Amino acid sequence: MRSHKRGKTSAALLFAVAGAYGAATQAADDSFALGGVLGYGDHTRIYGLQAVWAPPEQNEMLASHDLVLRLTAQVARWVAAADQAQYHALTDASAMAELRYWLTKTAVRPFIEGGFGFHVLSRVHIAEQNMTTAFTFGSQLAVGITLCERGTCELAALIHHASNGSIKEPNDGFTYGGIRFRVALP
């Protein structure tokens, strides 16, 4: 039964990203994007949807170093890989500021990115992890590349860590690796 629910979640995520892709094929370097994240870590699967905003007027100091600021909001479902896990699933809402560094100025542009933000969790346990607090901090590193016509979509590999920053013990923390696909909106 639970594998059927996972299949529905994965299908819904892929349809959402595909719909956004179809709407964005004519977009050019816009400031809004939608995306999806699939990840796995600490015996838990991650399924997320993102909304991304790049402020149209970038900071001159950042721009002079080929850095771009992006603000990302994400809603994700964390699902324990073991069906018999005591704490099987939770919902995560997060916001993150990301700094992106462009490695080249070519049509297909590789980038590296670092981010920091916060999470609000629907419960503090997932699989064997005890986050202790519903409010946690998040940090992320990503490496990716822009794709599609005029760079309107991107694919990235990421590592994400969430922790309560030792606000309260125990502080197991939670780390996952994943892939992310984003599409600019027209």
Q: 83-105: per-residue pLDDT in tens?
A: 777 788 999 999 999 999 989 88
Half-sphere exposure of 113 (CA within 13 A, CB side): 29
- Output the DSSP codes for 150-163: GG-EEEEEEEEEEE
Kindly tell me if the per-residue pLDDT of 160 is higher than 60.
yes
Q: 25-37: per-residue pLDDT in tens?
A: 333 346 899 999 9
Kindly tell me if the per-residue pLDDT of 15 is higher than 50.
no
Structural tokens at position 11: 């299908």
Domains of the chain: 2-184 (2.40.160.20)
Q: 41-79: per-residue pLDDT in tens?
A: 999 999 999 999 998 877 788 888 888 899 999 999 999
Q: Which of 166, 176, 108 is nearest to 137 (CA)?
A: 166
